[in-house]
Amino acid sequence: MKKSILFLFSFLGIIASCFAQTNEVSYQKNDNSLLWEVSGKGLSKPSYLFGTFHLMCKEDMVFSKNFTNALSNANMLVMEMDLSDSKNTFGAMDFIQMKDGESLSKLLSKKDYDRASKFFKDSLKMSLSFFDNMKPAFLQALFYPLMMTCKQTGSLEEAIMLEAKKAKKQIKGLETIELQSALLDNVSYQEQAKSLMELIDDFQKQKVNFEQLLNSYRSQNAIEIIKLIETDPEFKNQKANLLDNRNMNWVNQFEQLMPQSSLFVAVGAGHLFGEQGLIQLLQKKGYHLQPIENKN
């Protein structure tokens, strides 16, 4: 049950990885890394940024030597949410349910609900009625494993967390499960249900797009990630809600923590790049950001 809850809440990170600030930003080929060093501005030790992709094929979840060294050098692992805190796992069911007695069967027409029910039964071998009161945005997370070409998938954040725990690193979450759930509450249930049906009706195309983005992540191609993101209109109106505002809040937290501790920050890759991405926001604050080669 815990693993399924962690996966549902990784969906917010998947959204963020798939949609980022689209202002024109120049990235060079030598900037194509998901691992960055943060130094300067009087810091006694550098900190590190690492862009994750929340759902990965297990064979792709291999850490480079430079990644391992950076994590080893840091005192604290900082994640979007502290996955080691039971409040963020076992309490999840309180936040993924729709409020005020709303349900998917009420939001969808009978024709759409029947079509969604068939898709759930055929694809997931599960009854949609079991999820009738769940927020539609979280239901989309159930389909992402079906978009993967591999048989075994896993959470990259959970793998990083386990490495940090082995090394007895302190772990901190930037947000709580309550806050992350509230972010999706800014999207109406009607819009969430519409998005769910669009995913169901155009699943094969969505699967191709997801694989393209995942391949760009595998190659750590920042330029290609941005290009793919720019073509995705979904959540365009939620850019500030899902990315920009969160990034600014996180940078403020980093500035409080970095003078005392060397951080290893592991957050969705979509948060790193762009005019309002973490890299540029930290540069504007006066820090030096340097890409680190992250290849095995």
Does 216 reside within a domain?
A: yes
Residue listed under structure tokens 């069967």: 105
**Cα three-residue angle 148-123-185, rounded to 5 degrees:** 80
Does 282 reside within a domain?
A: yes
Would you mind telling me the total number of residues written for the chain in this entry? 296
d(C-alpha 71, C-alpha 86), whole Å? 23
Q: In the prediction, which pLDDT does 234 show?
A: 55
Does 145 reside within a domain?
A: no
Does 172 reside within a domain?
A: yes
Q: In the prediction, which pLDDT does 176 show?
A: 85
DSSP 97: B
Q: In the prediction, which pLDDT does 6 show?
A: 38
HEC assignment per residue over 250-267: HHHHHHHHCCCCCEEEEE
Q: In the prediction, which pLDDT does 230 show?
A: 56
Does 233 reside within a domain?
A: yes
Does 254 reside within a domain?
A: yes
Q: Which residues are bridge partners to 48 per DSSP?
A: 37, 264
Run means of pLDDT, 10 residues per run, the chain, 296 residues: 39 46 41 90 96 87 94 96 72 78 95 96 93 90 85 88 94 88 82 91 88 86 70 59 88 97 93 88 97 88
Domain count of the fold of the chain: 1
Give DSSP secondary structure letters for 32-81.
--SEEEEE-TT-SS-EEEEEE-SEEEGGG----HHHHHHHHH-SEEEEEE
Show the domain range for 80.
2-96+154-191+203-292
Does 50 reside within a domain?
A: yes
The two structure tokens encoding residue 89: 């796992």
For residue 148, count other CB atoms closer than 10 A to its CB: 17
Does 141 reside within a domain?
A: no
Q: In the prediction, which pLDDT does 237 show?
A: 60
d(C-alpha 88, C-alpha 5), whole Å? 9
pTM (2 d.p.): 0.85
Give DSSP secondary structure letters for 157-190.
HHHHHHHHHHTT-EEEEEE-HHHHHHHHHTS-HH
| Nearest to 284, CA basis, from 248, 260, 258 | 248
Q: In the prediction, which pLDDT does 185 show?
A: 79
Q: In the prediction, which pLDDT does 19 show?
A: 42
* Alpha-carbon dihedral sign for residues 217, 242, 254, 74: negative
